[in-house]
Amino acid sequence: MQFGQLARTSHSPIGIEVARAVGVYMYDPQGRHYLDLISGIAVSNVGHCHPKVVEAVQGQAAKHMHLMVYGEYVQTPQVHYAQQLTSHLPPTLNSVYLVNSGSEAVEGAIKLARRYTGRKQLIGFDKAYHGSSNGALSLMGDEFFKSPFYPLLPEVATLPWNDTDSLVQITQSTAAVFLETIQGEAGVRVPSTAFMHALRQRCTEMGALLVLDEIQCGFGRTGSMFAFDQFGIVPDVLLLAKGMGGGMPIGAFVAQADVMSCLSRDPILGHITTFGGHPVSCAAASACLSVIDSENLAQEAERKGRLFRNLLNNPSISEIRGRGLMLALQLRDSAQLFAAIDRCIENGVVVDWFLFCNSAMRIAPPLTISDEEITEACTIINESIDQPT
């Protein structure tokens, strides 16, 4: 089957036709299986079609689906999930605005920051990725992907990543600073603890909101439920999506209740969404979070990440970056990388590249991957890097 009338996003898609997916495997119509090491780009944290998530989806779909725009009716799946989510967060992150995606979470946070502070300037970082909608794109830290869509939002500055000296550019004119806790599309870049503490302190001093984007690195992927836990800081706003819904579309921006309340007045309905917090997606997200807890997937991600590092020993891999099961394998150049990706897929392991780092291989499997599956995947990756074209 071809793409037909579907809009295309590139001239070279992976192109695997998937008939079904279970656990860490995807199957084509002929029954061939592929070990999925990218999880739909860090989405299927509990694996494909986890039985608990499927049960929750089916159960909620039989009760009710869409009823009304978000925030007008009391819907048990939304209320329950917000309570469950905030129980995993610091006390100041106690108000959850549910949306449909990561990009929508970014857009909501932009409005929240400007409305709450009364300021206009936004700050992002080099090689940052926050989504493809207009506001999110404005915060992107790569001109190649931004410039064809100018003009974007005004008064957005881009700082060098992990550079403490540059933080003086955060001033009393700054509404918010947006940062991926661990950069994804830059090729999995982990900031220093000193930088994170300096950033938190500068935002506090200047009265700017610190917005941490955990859309890709959240929900256990990096070895803790949320990556900011590893740096000893707390953001003013937290952005979530991807691994949140167990495969269903859902996102959120989370803040303190007195901050979030500004969106409900002057004007009322200052931020609204029709399908945000869809009850079926909320039921799936609740089941997903319960699975991460009950199966200790966040803690296991750290150990499994170490196993990947130990087994990925091809001499062409010059560096392995990341935390937990959010990893980047640095190869020599893009030619070597793309040849290796093609051979991995031919050999039954799906890996990928990064938008802003086309010489590193993305490794982000479901957190449910077993040690045996990790061993199998690493053997294939090591062999595929050296396999002749």
10-residue mean pLDDT profile of the chain (389 residues): values are 81 88 97 97 98 98 96 96 98 98 98 98 98 97 94 97 98 98 98 98 98 98 98 98 98 98 94 97 98 98 98 97 98 96 97 97 98 98 88
* Burial readout 90-126 (b: 16 or more C-beta within 10 A, e: otherwise): eeebbbbbbbbbbbbbbbbbbebbbbbbebebbbbbb
Verify that 77 and 226 share a domain, yes or no: yes
Verify that 149 and 232 share a domain, yes or no: yes
User: Would 91 be classed as within a structural domain?
Assistant: yes
User: Would 96 be classed as within a structural domain?
Assistant: yes
CA distances in angstroms from 236 to 80, 142, 179, listed in the order given:
22, 25, 12
Alpha carbons within 13 A on the beta-carbon side of 148: 3
CATH number at residue 344: 3.90.1150.10
Alpha carbons within 13 A on the beta-carbon side of 226: 25
Verify that 221 and 307 share a domain, yes or no: no
* Burial readout 254-286 (b: 16 or more C-beta within 10 A, e: otherwise): bbbeebbebbeeeeeeebebebbbbbbbbbbbb
| pTM of the complete model | 0.97
Q: What's the confidence (pLDDT) of residue 173?
A: 98
Cα(183)–Cα(27) distance, rounded to whole angstroms?
Answer: 30
DSSP reduced 3-state for 237? strand
Verify that 148 and 271 share a domain, yes or no: yes
Neighbours of 347 (CB within 10 A): 15
Q: What's the confidence (pLDDT) of residue 389?
A: 65
User: Would 145 be classed as within a structural domain?
Assistant: yes
Verify that 45 and 62 share a domain, yes or no: no
Q: What's the confidence (pLDDT) of residue 13?
A: 83
Q: Are 43 and 216 in contact (CB under 8 A)?
A: no
What is 344-374 written as a DSSP string?
HHHTTEE-EEETTEEEEEEE---TT--HHHH
Q: What's the confidence (pLDDT) of residue 10?
A: 81
Tally the domains of the chain. Answer: 2
User: Would 7 be classed as within a structural domain?
Assistant: no
Sheet strand arrangement including 20-22: 20-22, 25-27, 33-36, 349-350
Write down the residue that tokens 């905030």 correspond to.
Answer: 86
Verify that 269 and 339 share a domain, yes or no: no
Domain boundaries, position 241: 52-294
User: Would 5 be classed as within a structural domain?
Assistant: no
Which helix (H) or strand (E) covers residue 42, if one does?
A: helix 39-42
CA distances in angstroms from 369 to 25, 52, 119, 256, 333, listed in the order given:
10, 17, 45, 35, 28
Domain limit, last residue, from 237, 262, 294:
294
Domain limit, last residue, from 261, 294, 327:
294
Structure tokens that stand for 94 in this block: 């106690």
DSSP reduced 3-state for 337? helix
DSSP reduced 3-state for 133? coil
Verify that 154 and 238 share a domain, yes or no: yes
Instruction: Identify which of 197, 182, 189 has the alpha carbon closest to the alpha carbon of residue 232.
Output: 197
Cα(152)–Cα(363) distance, rounded to whole angstroms?
Answer: 32
User: Would 303 be classed as within a structural domain?
Assistant: yes
User: Would 4 be classed as within a structural domain?
Assistant: no
Structure tokens that stand for 290 in this block: 């319960």
